[in-house]
């Protein structure tokens, strides 16, 4: 019997997905879902969904919930972090203010000005959670889903000795997308990937042992196909490897695609393919609609889907509990895993999971030019973690100054002014050391 505690469970649709996955896992027949959120209304929705999922699956699980995590942390085996800190109040600031300085973001929640200020709001709360976990469930294994992924794992690893594994589906989703373009089953593809979250790289991709990169390059010459993922195909064309996040996210992680309006017009497309303000303009509605869907499902107005999805958590839990190994990708401190990336940063690599735990695999070296792009982000991550842990405002300013997209658009003085303006706009949601 295991106890899975979800912090930030008020993200009810994602909590429902995680609980569905566990309830669909043959090797996890009994246990407890402990749900925690500071929003009692959304927490109740998640609790009610959990109870209905258990009833419909007939599994021997129970649900408990509280707005006070200290009531539920004790006995936790798997602590799942999914928190969102003051996002609704600040998503417009995170996009609108940088845009006035010429910094155009598509998603803006893991890097750039938006990602930086999301981290500055989120990481202090994360540190408090980890301090409670150290005290109340020191043996728990911690899975993080909250973005900014690399920053959340890095900061956590510097304030606790508990193992933290950042889980993101971007690599496997990318491979599935490439399989669709290649018109082969994704299960028939083998690949090697590594880097930093949202800027990892597919370094080797084979179908039944045959290198399919030549075929991908042929496909990229077909404009109809290239248009589906234009920025990533352009990246592959010039840098030699396919990056592992959507074109929209990828465009924010380098200095090549969003620094001038003409480049945005040339490469950015609708939605996740690079649309300006896509996240800021849509996420609040998506969140509301997701909650409404769950309420309709609870009242039997539409079906409550019960099917195991691709998220890693349930597969990892099942592998640990049953000693049936699985391979996943994790974000972890770089203990020699990628040997030409900084050892004090977080990298994304493959891991084997079994009854003895989670074992990140040594990748080796990235090509130098790809490693240099990842190192820039790891320096950004280091400065932000340093800022939050040491309450060092200037470290956060310096982080924005070395951000690839922001530094491609703005002067140093403009970046400082941008930081100051965002800090003032979000003053009520930030730690006091960041006050202008």
Quote the CA–CA distance of 272 and 269 in Å, as a whole number: 8
- Choosing from 169, 198, 238, 356, the catalytic residue is 169
Measured CA to CA in angstroms, residue 426 lies from 71, 94, 243, 421 at distances of 31, 9, 32, 9
| Interacting residues of 318 by C-beta distance below 8 A, sequence separation 6+ | 25, 26, 27, 28, 324, 326
Quote the CA–CA distance of 417 and 381 in Å, as a whole number: 21
Measured CA to CA in angstroms, residue 415 lies from 5, 204, 251, 257 at distances of 40, 38, 19, 19
Based on its alpha-carbon atoms, the radius of gyration of the chain, rounded to whole angstroms, reads: 21
Quote the CA–CA distance of 187 and 332 in Å, as a whole number: 25
- DSSP string of 50-75, one letter each residue: HHHHHHHHT-EEEEEEES-GGGT-TT
CA-nearest of 384, 385, 363 to 196 is 363
Query: HSE on the CB side for 103, CA within 13 Å?
Result: 33
CA-nearest of 334, 340, 339 to 369 is 340
Spatial contact of 48 and 298, defined as CB atoms under 8 Å apart: yes
Quote the CA–CA distance of 357 and 319 in Å, as a whole number: 9
Measured CA to CA in angstroms, residue 201 lies from 28, 69, 173, 252, 369 at distances of 33, 37, 13, 15, 12
Is 169 assigned a catalytic role?
A: yes
Spatial contact of 49 and 15, defined as CB atoms under 8 Å apart: yes
Residue recorded with tokens 């999301």: 118
Strands, E, within 179-318: which ranges?
189-196, 199-207, 210-211, 242-243
Running DSSP on this structure, what letter comes out for residue 339?
Answer: T
Reported residue count of the chain is 436
Quote the CA–CA distance of 207 and 184 in Å, as a whole number: 8
Helix axis angle, 393-402 relative to 112-136, nearest 10°?
130
Catalytic annotation, residues: 169
């Amino acid at each position: 019997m295991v106890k899975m505690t979800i912090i930030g469970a008020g993200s009810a649709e994602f909590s429902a997905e995680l609980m569905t996955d566990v309830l669909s896992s043959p090797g996890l027949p009994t246990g407890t879902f402990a749900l925690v959120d500071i929003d009692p209304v959304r927490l109740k929705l998640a609790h009610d969904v959990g109870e209905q999922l258990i009833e419909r699956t007939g599994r021997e699980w129970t649900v408990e919930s509280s707005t006070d995590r200290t009531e539920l942390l004790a006995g936790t085996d798997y602590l799942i972090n999914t928190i969102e800190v003051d996002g609704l109040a600040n998503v417009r600031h995170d996009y609108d203010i940088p845009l006035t300085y010429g910094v155009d973001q598509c998603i803006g929640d893991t890097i750039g000005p938006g990602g930086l200020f999301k981290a500055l709001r989120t990481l202090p709360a994360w540190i408090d959670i980890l301090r409670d976990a150290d005290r109340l469930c020191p043996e728990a294994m911690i899975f993080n889903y909250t973005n900014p992924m690399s920053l959340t794992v890095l900061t956590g690893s510097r304030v606790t000795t508990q193992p933290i594994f950042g889980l993101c589906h971007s690599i496997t989703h990318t491979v599935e997308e490439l399989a669709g373009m290649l018109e082969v089953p994704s299960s028939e593809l083998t690949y090697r990937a590594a880097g930093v979250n949202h800027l990892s790289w597919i370094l080797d991709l084979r179908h039944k042992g045959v290198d399919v990169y030549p075929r991908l390059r042929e496909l990229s010459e077909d404009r109809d196909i290239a248009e589906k993922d234009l920025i990533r195909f352009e990246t592959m064309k010039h840098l030699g490897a396919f990056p592992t996040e959507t074109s929209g996210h990828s465009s924010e992680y380098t200095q090549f695609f969003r620094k001038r309006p003409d480049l945005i017009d040339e490469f950015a497309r609708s939605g996740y393919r690079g649309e300006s303000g896509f996240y800021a303009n849509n996420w609040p509605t998506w969140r509301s609609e997701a909650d409404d869907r769950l309420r309709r499902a609870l009242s039997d107005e539409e079906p409550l889907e019960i099917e195991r999805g691709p998220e890693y958590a349930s597969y990892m839990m099942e592998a640990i509990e049953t000693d049936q190994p699985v391979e996943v990708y994790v974000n972890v401190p770089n203990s020699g895993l990628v040997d030409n990336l900084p050892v004090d940063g977080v990298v994304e690599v493959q891991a084997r999971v079994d009854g003895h735990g989670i074992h990140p695999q040594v990748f080796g070296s990235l090509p130098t030019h790809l490693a240099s792009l990842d190192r820039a982000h790891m320096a950004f991550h280091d400065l932000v973690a340093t800022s939050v842990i040491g309450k060092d405002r200037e470290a956060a300013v310096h982080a924005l100054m070395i951000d690839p997209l922001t530094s491609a658009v703005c002067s140093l003085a403009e970046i400082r002014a941008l930081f100051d303006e965002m800090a003032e706009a979000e003053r009520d949601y930030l730690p006091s050391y960041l006050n202008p």
